[in-house]
Structure 1
Amino acid sequence: MKPLIPNKLFLVFVLIHASRLCATIVRCLCWIGVLWSMTDAIRANERPNILIIYTDDLGFGDLSCYNNNAAYETPRLDQMAAEGIRFTDAHSPSTICSPSRYGLFSGQQIFRSTGRGGGAFEGPGGPSYLKPDTLTIGQMLKEQGYRTGVFGKWHVGLTWFDKDGQRLGGGFENSLLIDYEKSTPLIDGPNERGFDESFITPNCPNTDPLYVYIENGMVATRASQRHDPKSLPNPGGKWRWDNDAGWMSPGYDFMNADLLFFEKAKTFITEHRKDTPDQPFFAVLSTQIAHAPVLPAEEFNGATDAGPRADFVWELDVIVGRVLDLLKELDIDDETLVLFNSDNGAETVHVNWMREDHDHDPSGGWRGMKRDGWEGGHRVPFIARWPGKIPPNQVSSQMTSTTDIFATVASIVGVSLPDDAATDSFDMWPVMLGQQDESISVRPHLLTQSFGGEFQIRQGAWKYLDHKGSGGNNYDVPNMKRWIIPEKASNAPGQLYNLNDDPYETNNLYFSEETKRNELQELLRRLKASGRSAPMNRKPFQAWKQ
């Protein structure tokens, strides 16, 4: 029999070296974990803070960087544009506020939610246009590790119940029927649609009752007091127009609404940076400026020589400046993408009065205004700034929409969007980086909708309006008749314009360009039926990281 000792020694040898090998493997795995964590940290650090400043009824010509003939200056917004990119062919998805807000938060046209158009909510109107199965931009970023917040005007609908648990419809008097115990926390408010923190008003802060503040789904002070519009200032004897009587919370502050929204956003950003500096944030500051009524805070009265509405826009400019200053104070300026956009064109009476009194055109020369399907109803300012990433002094003529913010942000943070989400959203990040050939349009087409849900479609310079007239305002009433442009094809059921040759939409080519008209009508039919206008299989644009 062979001796056993050598075999035992061999076994010991194997065990010793196996244990060393295991230790080496464990150390390697640990280092792989560390490197993976470092990669995650690097990846997280590449993701910027994202801040959207979303304004109300601000027309294409309301900023001095867009309008050389503006009756006042907007220095901080001009500075923001100079430090980033300014789009000259940007559009709101709708010509009124609630459907446009749906477009911002969902990346989709309002008919994806409602089947056609969508009105603006008043009183306890709802439910939300943002349905439970709709991926919102807040939800998308929250899933990517962002802390999310929204501050200011919400206005995409909320569900309220009476004492019997029945859902309330809109209407001022229904505000008194709200059962707050049954209604709050809100089942379809911002905190249920992807936002960690919120401080909002349900509708237009100074226009549409009910007048309450809602913080994280709860109403601290109920609407129990009747509001008298005559209790507010009326500069110039007319600028209080559209401040509706209704029910308000005692102490509701009409004059300082936007300053309050800014302070809430500032607190969110400041405290978040203090508590979790390694986590990026996403915030939406949704102002009421320049929606009617014109109620600038006291410190801004007389700030310009162009009347109360100019003072109002000046207040907005100052707030934007305070936001940019805050980012520098917190040393996160280079880590933060700031987007500035408007929900539709300027209000009708505002356009009239500013043209008459101050030789200032809020529509910037375009035909139409808020509610209209013509360019003045939906061509709006859009500015993007991210120092060190977005090259400065860019002016882009790329056709874009508010709905594109969703896909653009997704691209920046490295998200491949599901095909059933943000179905009208295109990635404009290559444009912002200056890496897109300006002669090649990112968008092969663009949809907009006017007041009643009527459609307009762009393809290059060609624009087809699937309706007669403005699609919004009645130009037969006295204060609008002066802006009537005689129709050259008055019997046409729709309108076709070439914006290169006819930027002011005066020569309807509906009959004379039959081939192009049929082409755009068919394209519109397909886009409506397909459930999407954006491409499938959208992947993040990666070249900027190389």
Structure 2
Amino acid sequence: MISFKKSSSLKISTIVISTLFYTACYAQNISEKAVEKPNIIYILADDLGIGDVQVFNKNGKIKTPNLDQLALEGMRFTDAHTSSSVCTPTRYGIMTGRYNWRTTLKKGVLNGTSKALIPKNRTTVASLLKKQGYDTAFIGKWHLGWDWAEKPNVKGKDSYDFSKPVSHTPNDLGFDYAYGICGSLDMAPYIYVENSKPTAKSETIANGNKGYGFWRKGPVADDFEHEQVLPNFINRSVKYIESKKNSKKPFFLYVPLPSPHTPILPTKEFQGKSGLNPYGDFVMMVDAYVGKIFDIVKAQGMENNTLIIFTSDNGTSGKANFKALKDKGHDPSAGYRGLKATIFEGGHRVPFIAKWTGVIKPNTISNQTICTTDFMATCADIVNYKLQNNEGEDSFSMLPILKNEIIHGDFREATVHHSSGGFFSIRKGPWKLIFCKDDGGYKELKNSSEIKGLEYQLYNLENDPSEKNNLYTENVIKYKELKNLLKKYIKEGRSTPGKVQQNDIIDFEWTQINSIMQ
């Protein structure tokens, strides 16, 4: 046993004018802006596939003019990945620069009443930037657990007192301001918490919904309405940015959206707008609302010193109804195999756009393989902070890529991915080794205790991006190379150069890891 410590389409004239403008800004400001501490806005969509953003999918049927424009003004990554194909693990990696499977969370996600996953003594992006003089704010879906107050001598689901202050929240992990919900929008309790305090009473029980509007039964606060959660988070984010116009300090704003995850609830304005189904409508609503953040940055005159990153926490969920979308010509995974929860590319290859006027050359494309864990090292590099050995153990700085510097070879030695079922894959160059016999998703999560003698999968993504031709039995040398590299990353507690670190201790047998370490 191993112990672990504006328009639906852009006219040619608009593209030309915009590109010339941003190229001029880039040429004028690159030298001076590269040394300043920029404002940093990180927007994380929930269950948005790479094929759902039109600039990444030439055959996509969902119009996303605001995200397309962001890509025109910045850099888009064609080979960007989350560290996991489900919510909580990816969010852990973004905040800490460390793979989630190094923690006690080995599969699945947290729920709405789960305890905090990130220890208070672990460095997060927020605590790092705060020490470097940043104001820090979180507005949105946390899904990394916090500790609700508990009733004395009461056990089970009724043991929580949702009227009292919460402990071990984002405020304890580096955020000056924190406002949001604990879990996904389909997970009770449905309560906003602001700076560790619930914002309203929760004496009502919301009945569960089915279909596109699915959510689980549970307590709901008086000021909570499912349909208005996305607008609420965006409007508060806009107000936060407005409040920083005359501030002498840079700010970091983390906006993890609750959408287009279930419940899929486009407001009346967007219902039927995509011509596909409610999911398509909801994606268009997400695009329109994040556009409000892009617009306020420009309106406040902050554009030349603000880094904006937009990405997603994993691929599209099956709740989007893939069949209905494909019947109308739309593929949320853009030709890649799999979807949310799976170990295949559709589960963790995501849209990723970065804009930083004066530093990032507009309308550029990077084909480098990056991971969402890389945000930590990138922020450290921007503020000229040297990560300690126990910080960002799986994070590589993307700053050289953003500056369009010449990079010889691969940006990362390799990237490790994880599925909802707790199954691994490792990617090095075009080669990807998968440590399970199926997709590693919900089916295998349910039956993981029955899986023995795992059959591996080996793909060359350069020749086979859809992962159809398993070369595991034909290329033993590559299989051994990749397996040994994963074993090294596991044993050393890191995938970046540095001193060996401890993974978090667990008190149970983890069959998946034991099979790999043999």
Which residues of 2 match residues 392-541 of structure 1 at below 5 A? 392-437=362-407, 440-474=409-443, 493-536=455-498
Report the counterpart of residue 252 of structure 1 in structure 2. Answer: 224
Report the counterpart of residue 15 of structure 1 in structure 2. Answer: none
In the alignment, residue 158 of structure 1 is paired with which amino acid?
Answer: W
Report the counterpart of residue 173 of structure 2 in structure 1. Answer: 193
In the alignment, residue 78 of structure 2 is paired with which amino acid?
Answer: T
If you compute each CA radius of gyration, which structure gives the higher value, 1 or 2? Answer: 1
Q: Which structure has more RCO (C-alpha within 8 Å, separation ≥ 6)?
A: 2
State the shift of 1:353 in Å. Answer: 3.8
Report the counterpart of residue 299 of structure 2 in structure 1. Answer: 329
Q: Deviations over 1:495-514 (max 9, x none)?
A: 11111121111111111111
In the alignment, residue 125 of structure 1 is paired with which amino acid?
Answer: S
Q: Deviations over 1:123-143 (max 9, x none)?
A: 3111x1111221000000000
| Stretch of structure 1 that moved more, 58-67 or 156-165 | 156-165
In the alignment, residue 218 of structure 2 is paired with which amino acid?
Answer: G
Aligned to 1:398, the other structure's residue is in SS state: coil
Q: Deviations over 1:326-352 (max 9, x none)?
A: 011111111100000100010013252
- Report the CA distance shift for 1:423/1:165 in structure 2 as closer, same or farther (over 3 A): farther
In the alignment, residue 266 of structure 2 is paired with which amino acid?
Answer: P
- Report the CA distance shift for 1:406/1:217 in structure 2 as closer, same or farther (over 3 A): same
State the shift of 1:536 in Å. Answer: 2.9
Report the counterpart of residue 145 of structure 1 in structure 2. Answer: 133
Match of 1:381 among 351, 359, 367: 351
Gaps of 5+ in 1: 1-41, 478-489, 538-546
Aligned to 2:244, the other structure's residue is in SS state: helix
- Report the CA distance shift for 1:360/1:418 in structure 2 as closer, same or farther (over 3 A): same
Match of 1:224 among 185, 192, 203: 203
The whole-number CA distance in structure 1 between the counterparts of 2:33 and 2:359 is 16
Report the counterpart of residue 264 of structure 1 in structure 2. Answer: 236
Contact map agreement 1:354 1:361 (CA 8 A) in 2: no
1:55 correspondence with 2:45: yes
Report the counterpart of residue 243 of structure 1 in structure 2. Answer: 215
Contact map agreement 1:527 1:533 (CA 8 A) in 2: yes
Contact map agreement 1:354 1:362 (CA 8 A) in 2: no
The whole-number CA distance in structure 2 between the counterparts of 1:351 and 1:400 is 28
Aligned to 1:100, the other structure's residue is in SS state: helix
TM-score normalised to the size of structure 1?
0.81
Aligned to 2:51, the other structure's residue is in SS state: coil
In the alignment, residue 522 of structure 1 is paired with which amino acid?
Answer: N
The whole-number CA distance in structure 1 between the counterparts of 2:85 and 2:61 is 24
- Report the CA distance shift for 1:351/1:366 in structure 2 as closer, same or farther (over 3 A): farther
The whole-number CA distance in structure 1 between the counterparts of 2:307 and 2:250 is 11
Contact map agreement 1:51 1:339 (CA 8 A) in 2: yes
The whole-number CA distance in structure 2 between the counterparts of 1:180 and 1:248 is 10
Report the counterpart of residue 297 of structure 1 in structure 2. Answer: 267
Contact map agreement 2:315 2:350 (CA 8 A) in 1: yes
Q: Deviations over 1:143-173 (max 9, x none)?
A: 000000010100001112422288x7xxxx7
The whole-number CA distance in structure 2 between the counterparts of 1:387 and 1:319 is 21
State the shift of 1:118 in Å. Answer: 4.0
The whole-number CA distance in structure 1 between the counterparts of 2:83 and 2:202 is 32
In the alignment, residue 485 of structure 2 is paired with which amino acid?
Answer: L
Match of 1:129 among 117, 123, 142: 117
In the alignment, residue 264 of structure 1 is paired with which amino acid?
Answer: R
Report the counterpart of residue 81 of structure 1 in structure 2. Answer: 71
The whole-number CA distance in structure 2 between the counterparts of 1:123 and 1:394 is 39
The whole-number CA distance in structure 2 between the counterparts of 1:424 and 1:298 is 43
Q: Deviations over 1:92-131 (max 9, x none)?
A: 11111011110111111112222x62432223111x1111
Report the counterpart of residue 332 of structure 2 in structure 1. Answer: 362
Contact map agreement 1:110 1:118 (CA 8 A) in 2: no
State the shift of 1:298 in Å. Answer: 2.5
The whole-number CA distance in structure 1 between the counterparts of 2:75 and 2:35 is 23
State the shift of 1:453 in Å. Answer: 1.9
In the alignment, residue 221 of structure 1 is paired with which amino acid?
Answer: A
In the alignment, residue 120 of structure 1 is paired with which amino acid?
Answer: V
- Report the CA distance shift for 1:257/1:396 in structure 2 as closer, same or farther (over 3 A): same
Aligned to 1:403, the other structure's residue is in SS state: helix
Residue-pair matches, total? 463
Aligned to 1:192, the other structure's residue is in SS state: helix
Q: Deviations over 1:333-387 (max 9, x none)?
A: 1110000010001001325244344221111111000110010000001100011
Report the counterpart of residue 154 of structure 1 in structure 2. Answer: 142
In the alignment, residue 123 of structure 2 is paired with which amino acid?
Answer: L
The whole-number CA distance in structure 2 between the counterparts of 1:492 and 1:269 is 50
The whole-number CA distance in structure 2 between the counterparts of 1:68 and 1:525 is 39
Aligned to 1:325, the other structure's residue is in SS state: helix
In the alignment, residue 135 of structure 2 is paired with which amino acid?
Answer: R
In the alignment, residue 188 of structure 1 is paired with which amino acid?
Answer: H
Aligned to 1:285, the other structure's residue is in SS state: strand
Aligned to 1:371, the other structure's residue is in SS state: coil
Calculate percent identity across the aligned residue pairs.
36
Aligned to 1:452, the other structure's residue is in SS state: coil
Aligned to 2:483, the other structure's residue is in SS state: helix
The whole-number CA distance in structure 1 between the counterparts of 2:168 and 2:454 is 42
Which residues of 2 match residues 87-106 of structure 1 at below 5 A? 87-106=77-96
The whole-number CA distance in structure 1 between the counterparts of 2:329 and 2:130 is 45
State the shift of 1:292 in Å. Answer: 1.4
The whole-number CA distance in structure 2 between the counterparts of 1:214 and 1:196 is 14
Q: Deviations over 1:53-99 (max 9, x none)?
A: 11100011000000111112111100101111100110011111011
Contact map agreement 1:454 1:466 (CA 8 A) in 2: yes
State the shift of 1:492 in Å. Answer: 6.4
